[in-house]
Structure 1
Amino acid sequence: MKLLLYGCGSRGMYLLDSFREINNVEIIGITDKNTDSKFSLEEENRSLFWRVNEILELDFDYVLITTDKYFEDVFKELTAIGLAEKKIISLKIFNDLFIKKSNDQIKALPKCVLCTNHVFGWLLTGERNALFEQKSVVGAGLRSGICPICSSTDRLRYVHYILNKYTTIFDDTSNILHFAPESKLIEEFRKRGENYITADLMKGRADVVADITNLQFKDNQFDWIICNHVMEHIENEGRALLEIKRCLKPGGSLIITVPICWEEDTYENKDIITKNEKTLYYGQSDHERLYGRDIEARFEKYGFDVKGYKNTDILNEKEIEENGFIVGDSVFICAKV
């Protein structure tokens, strides 16, 4: 199958690299209305870039629009230059075509635990980072992990897997507080009823604006508090964890994930204050520490009984690969004691 990708932004570049690893798929070019600005930026792939008004001269089976958000607008743009409608496809349509051709091998293809679709593969996500690569940090850096159908991340799929298999959070009507909420989890929790509150430090991103180190909620209010890839951004980790503990009911649990280096203990230095220093030592300019193998002990000292679910301990290599999880990823369930 010969494809021309529409979209020269970061998503298009990620798709370009992702599709190069798929058998029986040939990328013959990439285009969009801003192609000209890319000729000077992408030396390695310069020969692949085409202006929209040039693509009718090319030999391809389909133009794949790399984002659903602008699909209708791009569809109109392409049909206006004379491209046949049947040659314009989305990622979902491509996935359906790929699955149809692979029907006899469908069980061997990856499957998303969130949208339950078999997929042709996982798209690239994250950014290349020297520190994350050097220290083999799990949950950060450039990797294949995005579902091409529902756009769920590898990290989120594993959180969902653990919550579904090892907790009752999806089954009961308990009170839930969800920090920096992921849209896919919001959809699922909203179905349960009204005992679900989303929170974020930034206005407009959630139900309420909340500072995790100074929460406005009552003591013993929540059965569950979810905090995925948030704590590494919090300067005062101890104050945040004590506030979370205060707001949890006795026996309630904090569900937490963070980027983690399993080869070392947590590294945190209060003298590291500039963005450049944080990027150098923690991997990201807005991180306050790099969590390590002592993470359970760190959380336990604030009054939690911590149970870590590292996927290499509970799943085999094939299961991790088929579900598109990150090898070594962990979810920590911290019960208030």
Structure 2
Amino acid sequence: MKILLYGCGSRGRKLFNNLNKMDNIEMVGITDRNIESMVTLEEENKSLFRNIDEVFGLEFDYVLVTLDKHFEDVFKELTLAGLAGNKIISLNEFNKIFVDESNRQNRILPKCGLCGNYVFGWLLTGEKNDLFEQKSVIGAGLRNGICPVCGSTDRLRYVYYILKKYTNIFDVNSSILHFAPEMKLTEEFRKRGYEYITADLMEGRADVVADITNLQFKNNYFDWIICNHVMEHIKNENKALYEIKRCLKPGGSLIITVPICWEEDTYEEDDIVTNADKTLYYGQSDHERLYGRDIEARFGKYGFDVKRYKNTDILNQAEINKNGFILGDAVFICTKM
């Protein structure tokens, strides 16, 4: 299948890199209405950049528009210029065409556990980071992890898998507090009619503004508190975990995930305060520590019974790959004793 990509933004560049590595896809070019976009392309791809007026001289099966929100405008632009409308497709349409063709050839494809769709592959997410690569930090750095259909991340798909398989959170009416809520997970809870509250430190991002180290909720109130990739950003972990414990009912559970290095213990130092030093030692300027293999004991000292669900302990390599999980990712369920 010969593809001309329309869109040289961040999503377009990442998508190009994905498709360019696939044996049954030939990338014939990249185009954009804004020629200045070419400067954002990696050097090895710049020879494939095409001006709009060059498009009609190329041989391709489809023009793949990288951003759905621009699809109608691009479709109108290209059809007015004389390109057949059936040659212009969105990412979802491309995925369907690819999956249908793969089914005819009996190829095994990955499947998104959140939206239920088979996909041509996982789109790039995250950013390249030397520390994360050197220390093999799980849940961070540049990797293939985004579902091209629903946009779910590798991390979120694994959280959802664990919640479905190892908890009753989707089956029993519960009170739930969800920090820094992920949209796809929020949709799952909203449609069940639970008492479900989303919270964030920034106004406008959730139902309530809440400081995780000084929560406004009553004691023993929630059955579940969800905290995915938040705790690494919190300076006072001690106050945050005691506040979470206070707000949980006896027997209630904290569901937590963090970037983690399985090869070392958690690293944090009080004198690491500048953005540059945090990036150097923790991997990001907004991180307050780099969690490690001692995490169960670390959370357990706050009075939680901690259970670790590391995917390499419960799934084989083929299952991890098919679901688009990060190899070695883990969800911790911390139950208030």
TM-score (normalised: structure 2)? 0.98
Note closer, same or farther for the CA distance 1:51–1:221 as it changes in structure 2 (3 Å cut).
Answer: same
Residue 321 of structure 2 aligns to a residue whose secondary structure is: helix
Residue in 1 aligned with 2:147? 147
Q: Which runs of 5+ in 1 are unaligned?
A: none
Pair 1:219 & 2:236 matched: no
Distance between the aligned counterparts of 2:133 and 2:324, measured in 1? Answer: 19
Q: Does 1:169 align with 2:169?
A: yes
Q: Secondary structure at the match of 2:29?
A: strand
Distance 1:94 1:125, change over 3 A: same
Q: SS at the partner of 1:45?
A: helix
Q: Render the CA deviation track for 1:132-152: whole Å, top value 9, x for unaligned.
A: 000000000011111111111
Mapping 1:130-141, distance limit 5 Å: 130-141=130-141
- Segments of 4+ in structure 1 off by > 3 A? 39-42, 104-107
Structure 2 equivalent of residue 100 of structure 1: 100
- 2:329 equivalent in structure 1: 329
Deviation at 1:41, TM superposition (A): 5.6
Aligned equivalents of 2:147 and 2:15: distance in 1? 12
Q: Deviations over 1:150-199 (max 9, x none)?
A: 11100000000000000000111110000000000011000111400000
Q: CA deviation at 1:78?
A: 1.8
- 1:80 alignment partner in structure 2: 80
Using the TM superposition, give the Cα deviation of residue 44 of structure 1 relative to its aligned residue in structure 2, in angstroms. 2.2
Q: Matches of residues 1-337 of structure 1 in structure 2 within 5 Å?
A: 1-39=1-39, 42-104=42-104, 108-337=108-337
Deviation digits for residues 205-249 of structure 1 (CA, Å, limit 9, x no counterpart): 000000000000010110000000000000000100000000000
SS in 1 for 2:162: helix
Paired with 1:94 and 1:41, the residues of 2 have a C-alpha distance of: 22
Q: 1:107 to 1:163 in 2, by over 3 A?
A: farther
* 8 Å CA contact 1:110, 1:321 repeated in 2: yes
Maintained 8 Å contact 1:99/1:106? no
Secondary structure at 2:68 match in 1: coil
Per-residue deviation, residues 5-46 of structure 1 (Å, max 9, x unmatched): 111011111101100222210111111122334247632211
CA separation in 2, counterparts of 1:335 and 1:89? Answer: 47
Displacement after TM superposition at 1:270 (Å): 1.0
**More deviation, 234-243/64-73:** 64-73
Using the size of structure 1 for normalisation, the TM-score is 0.98
Moved more, 29-38 or 291-300: 29-38
Query: For the Cα contact (< 8 Å) 2:229–2:257, is it kept in 1?
Result: yes
2:44 aligns to what SS in structure 1?
A: coil
Which letter maps to 1:238? N
TM superposition shift of 1:104? 4.1
* Paired letter, 1:300: G
Contact 2:8 2:37 in 1 (8 A): no
- Structure 2, gaps ≥5 residues long: none
Seen in structure 2, the aligned counterparts of structure 1 residues 307 and 102 have a Cα distance that, compared at 3 Å, is same
Provide the C-alpha distance between the structure 2 equivalents of 1:324 and 1:96, rounded to a whole number of angstroms. 18
- Larger mean Cα displacement after TM superposition, 269-278 or 77-86: 77-86
Separation in 2, partners of 1:52, 1:303:
62
Q: What secondary structure does 1:15 align onto?
A: helix
* Distance 1:110-1:47 versus aligned 2 partners, 3 A rule: same
RMSD: 1.2
Instruction: State how far apart, in whole Å, the 1-side matches of 2:218 and 2:69 are.
Output: 40
Instruction: State the AA in 2 paired with 1:241.
Output: L
The residue matched to 1:29 in structure 2 has which SS?
strand
> Does the Cα contact within 8 Å between 1:106 and 1:118 map onto a contact in 2?
no
In the alignment, the residues of structure 2 paired with residue 41 and residue 17 of structure 1 have an alpha-carbon distance, to the nearest angstrom, of: 11
Alpha-carbon spacing, 1:37–1:99, altered in 2? closer, same or farther (3 Å): closer
C-alpha displacement at 1:80, in angstroms?
Answer: 2.2
Between Structure 1 and Structure 2, how many residues are aligned? 337
Cα distance, 1:72 vs structure 2: 1.4
Say if 1:277 and 1:191 are closer, same or farther in 2 by CA, change over 3 A: same
The Cα of 1:54 is off from its aligned counterpart by: 2.2
Shift of the alpha carbon at 1:55? 1.2
Whether the 8 Å contact between 2:3 and 2:64 is mirrored in structure 1 is yes
| Cα distance in 2 between the residues matched to 1:147 and 1:173 | 29
CA distance in 2, matches of 1:74, 1:272: 48
1:77 deviates by 1.9
Q: Kindly state the Cα deviation for residue 111 of structure 1 after the two structures are TM-superposed.
A: 0.6
SS of corresponding position for 1:102: helix
